[in-house]
Amino acid sequence: MAIFEPSTPEVPMPGYSAVDPQFRGYRAAFRREAQRLGMFVALYRYLYERRHDRLDELNLAPAFFQKVLTALRSGIVIWSHKFLVGGSRQEVSMGTFLKFAGQNLVIFSTEAFRVRRGLPEDAWQVRRHIAPDAEAVRLDRRRLAALTALRASACSATNSMLTSIRSILFSPRNSTKLRRSPGVS
Protein backbone atom coordinates (compact mmCIF):
# COMPACT_ATOMS: atom_id res chain seq x y z
CA MET A 1 0.00 0.00 0.00
CA ALA A 2 1.44 3.39 -0.96
CA ILE A 3 1.95 6.10 1.61
CA PHE A 4 -0.74 8.40 0.28
CA GLU A 5 -3.41 5.86 -0.56
CA PRO A 6 -6.78 6.44 1.12
CA SER A 7 -7.82 3.78 3.59
CA THR A 8 -11.43 3.75 2.43
CA PRO A 9 -12.71 3.54 -1.14
CA GLU A 10 -13.98 6.79 -2.57
CA VAL A 11 -17.62 7.30 -3.39
CA PRO A 12 -18.43 9.54 -6.36
CA MET A 13 -19.83 12.88 -5.24
CA PRO A 14 -23.22 13.79 -6.69
CA GLY A 15 -23.16 17.07 -8.59
CA TYR A 16 -19.39 17.22 -9.00
CA SER A 17 -19.03 15.00 -12.03
CA ALA A 18 -17.42 17.74 -14.17
CA VAL A 19 -14.73 18.62 -11.62
CA ASP A 20 -14.18 15.20 -10.03
CA PRO A 21 -12.06 13.62 -12.82
CA GLN A 22 -9.88 16.72 -12.97
CA PHE A 23 -9.47 16.64 -9.18
CA ARG A 24 -8.57 12.95 -9.22
CA GLY A 25 -6.05 13.56 -12.00
CA TYR A 26 -4.43 16.44 -10.12
CA ARG A 27 -4.32 14.42 -6.92
CA ALA A 28 -2.76 11.38 -8.60
CA ALA A 29 -0.15 13.48 -10.40
CA PHE A 30 0.61 15.45 -7.25
CA ARG A 31 1.08 12.24 -5.24
CA ARG A 32 3.34 10.80 -7.93
CA GLU A 33 5.53 13.91 -8.02
CA ALA A 34 5.74 14.08 -4.21
CA GLN A 35 6.67 10.40 -3.98
CA ARG A 36 9.40 10.78 -6.64
CA LEU A 37 10.86 13.77 -4.85
CA GLY A 38 10.68 11.88 -1.56
CA MET A 39 12.50 8.90 -3.09
CA PHE A 40 15.27 11.14 -4.45
CA VAL A 41 15.72 12.80 -1.06
CA ALA A 42 15.62 9.49 0.85
CA LEU A 43 18.20 7.86 -1.43
CA TYR A 44 20.49 10.88 -1.27
CA ARG A 45 20.20 11.03 2.52
CA TYR A 46 20.90 7.30 2.83
CA LEU A 47 24.03 7.44 0.66
CA TYR A 48 25.24 10.64 2.28
CA GLU A 49 24.81 9.28 5.82
CA ARG A 50 26.52 5.99 4.94
CA ARG A 51 29.72 7.74 3.81
CA HIS A 52 31.33 7.44 7.23
CA ASP A 53 30.70 3.79 8.03
CA ARG A 54 31.12 2.52 4.46
CA LEU A 55 34.18 4.53 3.52
CA ASP A 56 36.12 1.51 2.23
CA GLU A 57 33.36 0.61 -0.21
CA LEU A 58 33.00 4.19 -1.38
CA ASN A 59 36.75 4.48 -1.90
CA LEU A 60 36.70 1.51 -4.27
CA ALA A 61 34.83 3.64 -6.80
CA PRO A 62 35.03 7.26 -5.64
CA ALA A 63 34.35 8.74 -9.06
CA PHE A 64 31.18 6.68 -9.43
CA PHE A 65 29.77 7.53 -6.01
CA GLN A 66 30.62 11.23 -6.33
CA LYS A 67 28.81 11.34 -9.68
CA VAL A 68 25.82 9.52 -8.19
CA LEU A 69 25.62 11.95 -5.27
CA THR A 70 25.99 14.92 -7.62
CA ALA A 71 23.30 13.55 -9.93
CA LEU A 72 20.94 12.96 -7.01
CA ARG A 73 21.62 16.44 -5.62
CA SER A 74 20.95 18.07 -8.99
CA GLY A 75 17.86 15.88 -9.43
CA ILE A 76 16.54 17.05 -6.06
CA VAL A 77 17.10 20.70 -7.00
CA ILE A 78 15.42 20.32 -10.37
CA TRP A 79 12.54 18.20 -9.03
CA SER A 80 11.90 20.62 -6.16
CA HIS A 81 11.72 23.51 -8.61
CA LYS A 82 9.41 21.53 -10.87
CA PHE A 83 7.23 20.48 -7.92
CA LEU A 84 6.83 24.01 -6.59
CA VAL A 85 6.76 26.09 -9.76
CA GLY A 86 6.35 23.76 -12.72
CA GLY A 87 7.79 24.27 -16.13
CA SER A 88 4.82 24.32 -18.46
CA ARG A 89 1.08 24.64 -18.24
CA GLN A 90 0.60 20.87 -18.53
CA GLU A 91 2.77 20.05 -15.52
CA VAL A 92 1.12 19.64 -12.17
CA SER A 93 2.84 21.86 -9.65
CA MET A 94 1.93 23.48 -6.38
CA GLY A 95 0.90 26.62 -8.29
CA THR A 96 -1.46 24.83 -10.67
CA PHE A 97 -3.00 22.84 -7.83
CA LEU A 98 -3.57 26.00 -5.73
CA LYS A 99 -5.18 27.67 -8.73
CA PHE A 100 -7.47 24.67 -9.20
CA ALA A 101 -8.30 24.58 -5.47
CA GLY A 102 -9.13 28.29 -5.46
CA GLN A 103 -11.51 27.86 -8.38
CA ASN A 104 -13.21 24.75 -6.91
CA LEU A 105 -13.40 25.31 -3.15
CA VAL A 106 -16.71 23.47 -2.92
CA ILE A 107 -15.08 20.06 -3.53
CA PHE A 108 -12.73 20.62 -0.57
CA SER A 109 -15.53 21.25 1.94
CA THR A 110 -15.94 18.93 4.91
CA GLU A 111 -19.22 17.57 3.56
CA ALA A 112 -17.71 16.82 0.15
CA PHE A 113 -14.76 15.13 1.88
CA ARG A 114 -17.13 12.99 3.95
CA VAL A 115 -19.22 11.97 0.93
CA ARG A 116 -16.17 11.32 -1.26
CA ARG A 117 -14.60 9.02 1.34
CA GLY A 118 -17.92 7.40 2.32
CA LEU A 119 -17.49 8.23 6.00
CA PRO A 120 -20.20 8.56 8.66
CA GLU A 121 -20.83 12.06 10.02
CA ASP A 122 -19.20 11.33 13.38
CA ALA A 123 -15.98 9.82 12.00
CA TRP A 124 -12.74 11.16 13.44
CA GLN A 125 -11.48 12.05 9.92
CA VAL A 126 -14.49 14.30 9.41
CA ARG A 127 -14.02 15.96 12.79
CA ARG A 128 -10.35 16.67 12.04
CA HIS A 129 -10.89 17.83 8.45
CA ILE A 130 -10.13 21.52 7.90
CA ALA A 131 -11.67 22.82 4.70
CA PRO A 132 -9.69 25.55 2.93
CA ASP A 133 -11.32 28.87 2.22
CA ALA A 134 -10.50 31.52 -0.37
CA GLU A 135 -8.27 33.44 2.06
CA ALA A 136 -6.21 30.33 2.90
CA VAL A 137 -5.66 29.57 -0.78
CA ARG A 138 -4.75 33.20 -1.46
CA LEU A 139 -2.26 33.14 1.43
CA ASP A 140 -0.69 29.92 0.15
CA ARG A 141 -0.37 31.40 -3.33
CA ARG A 142 1.37 34.46 -1.84
CA ARG A 143 3.76 32.20 0.06
CA LEU A 144 4.54 30.33 -3.12
CA ALA A 145 5.16 33.58 -4.98
CA ALA A 146 7.50 34.64 -2.15
CA LEU A 147 9.74 31.71 -3.00
CA THR A 148 11.15 33.58 -6.00
CA ALA A 149 14.54 33.70 -4.29
CA LEU A 150 14.47 29.91 -4.04
CA ARG A 151 13.44 29.69 -7.69
CA ALA A 152 16.26 32.00 -8.74
CA SER A 153 18.86 30.13 -6.68
CA ALA A 154 17.65 26.77 -8.01
CA CYS A 155 17.86 28.02 -11.57
CA SER A 156 21.33 29.52 -11.06
CA ALA A 157 22.56 26.36 -9.30
CA THR A 158 21.22 24.23 -12.13
CA ASN A 159 22.75 26.49 -14.78
CA SER A 160 26.15 26.56 -13.07
CA MET A 161 26.06 22.78 -12.65
CA LEU A 162 25.21 22.26 -16.31
CA THR A 163 27.92 24.71 -17.35
CA SER A 164 30.56 22.87 -15.33
CA ILE A 165 29.39 19.50 -16.68
CA ARG A 166 29.51 20.78 -20.25
CA SER A 167 32.99 22.22 -19.77
CA ILE A 168 34.22 18.89 -18.40
CA LEU A 169 32.56 16.74 -21.05
CA PHE A 170 33.29 18.84 -24.10
CA SER A 171 36.75 20.19 -23.33
CA PRO A 172 39.43 19.37 -25.93
CA ARG A 173 41.66 17.58 -23.42
CA ASN A 174 38.88 15.12 -22.58
CA SER A 175 37.98 14.22 -26.12
CA THR A 176 39.27 10.82 -27.07
CA LYS A 177 40.22 10.09 -30.63
CA LEU A 178 39.45 6.71 -32.06
CA ARG A 179 42.63 4.98 -32.95
CA ARG A 180 42.95 2.13 -35.35
CA SER A 181 44.43 -1.07 -34.15
CA PRO A 182 47.51 -2.09 -36.09
CA GLY A 183 45.91 -5.31 -37.30
CA VAL A 184 42.58 -3.77 -38.40
CA SER A 185 42.21 -2.04 -41.74
Question: pLDDT, tens digit, for every residue of 82-139?
Answer: 787 776 666 678 888 888 888 888 888 888 888 888 899 999 999 999 988 999 999 9
Question: Amino acid identity of 37?
Answer: L
- Which residues have a Cβ under 8 Å from the Cβ of 150 and sit 6 or more positions away? 84
What count of other Cβ atoms lies within 10 Å of the Cβ of residue 81?
20
Per 3-state DSSP, the chain is made up of helix, strand and coil in percentages (nearest 5) of: 65, 0, 35
Q: What mean pLDDT value characterizes the chain? A: 75
Is residue 180 pLDDT above 50, yes or no?
A: no
Percent of the chain, pLDDT > 70?
67
Classify each residue of 15-32 as buried b or exposed e, where b means 16 or more C-beta atoms within 10 Å of its C-beta. ebeeebeebeebeeebee
Q: Count other Cβ atoms within 10 Å, centred on residue 46.
A: 10
CB-based contact 77:44 (threshold 8 Å): no
Query: Is there a contact between 74 and 158 (Cβ–Cβ < 8 Å)?
Result: yes
Region 53-79 average pLDDT = 81
Of 47-51, 102-106, 145-149, give the lowest mean pLDDT range: 145-149
Domain ranges in the chain are: 20-160
What pLDDT is stored for residue 59 in this prediction?
Answer: 75
* Rounded mean pLDDT, 65-82: 83
